[in-house]
Amino acid sequence: MPMSSGRDWSAEIEILLGQMTEHYVFPDVAEQVCQLLRQRLAGGAYRDLADEAALARVVTRDMQSVNGDKHLGIQDSEQEIPRQQDLVVDTGRLRAEQAMLTGHGFARIERLPGNVGLLDIRKFYEPSVAGAGAAAIAAMQLIASADALLIDLRRNGGGEPEMVALVSGFLFGERTHLVDLHFPAAGTTIQYWTAPFVPGPVFGGSKPVYVLTSARTVSGGEGMSYQLQQCKRATLVGETTMGAANFHYPYRVSAHLMSTVPSGYPVDPVSGGHWEGTGVRPDIPVPAERALDTAYRLALQHVLGLGELGPRRQIAADARQALAELKN
């Protein structure tokens, strides 16, 4: 990667300005961002930045200072970024490799004492990427017979709404409208619903679900949290999330710079709003490190209310022991 002092970054900034003008979801904000970058460029703010990494840090900070859009910015790459027509294919290949090496986003799948299911989901990959859909179905089937479910999204870095819809489909008793994505420049809207059928067994729409959130929960993780909360299908436990709702695509700026310029925004069919800039507020606010114990305690109390007859005798005993350990 080039390393020099006093580089002229005007060509890269001009390309970025064109991408903002053409694609950014809010044209008035795009105009403000472009005006700011032009002023900063003319004032020499970028002149002493030695390489792409330094430029990416400073320009991203400037861009996000206008409206706080955490999906908006540029990033550097040690590897040469392919031409725009190949960029989507290349990023898809990288996502497939990442999915294969990270359990397709499912970091932990466990049945806790007391017949409480736990899913720790770090990323929502497209169901079609490297078997991610099959992994999600397997994970949801493993916890289907749990009496309560904890979905840990405290370290979730986002992902694709198709996977959010697939996972959510195991949590409802009927087809449910989750979110609409609006793309103003293209004049299009994409609706996301749970599937009318998912391969059973399923957790279903009546047993309690607790979603754990943190200030690091972002994008698709926020989307799932918000949608389940608005549908009154889950209780959110933890911290207010990051507040990044807009939907973005990558664009090539130069051989070693790529922009992320959001061109769409979500609208929840229940609230008519979204979480951009505000984050998703939990129903039970607690520090992130206490969210698991807090939600698990609530789940165990539910389990103990189901009785102790027949096979439930051991489940209740396990739940009572786990609850006692949580109180210590």
312, two tokens: 């439930």
CATH code: domain 87-248+262-327 is 3.90.226.10
Dihedral sign computed on CA atoms, order 317, 319, 322, 323:
negative
> pLDDT by residue for the chain (328 residues), tens digit each?
444 456 899 999 999 999 999 999 999 999 999 999 999 999 999 998 999 999 999 999 999 999 999 999 999 988 888 876 666 656 677 778 888 888 999 999 999 999 999 999 999 999 988 688 999 999 999 999 999 999 999 999 999 999 999 999 999 999 999 999 999 988 999 999 999 899 989 999 999 999 999 999 999 999 999 999 999 999 999 999 999 999 888 899 999 999 999 999 999 999 999 999 999 999 999 999 999 999 999 999 999 999 999 999 999 999 999 999 997 6
How do the domains of the chain map onto residue ranges? 10-76, 87-248+262-327
Give me the residue label for tokens 């898809």.
92
pLDDT, tens digit, 9 for 90 and up, residues 275-322: 999 999 999 999 999 999 999 999 999 999 999 999 999 999 999 999
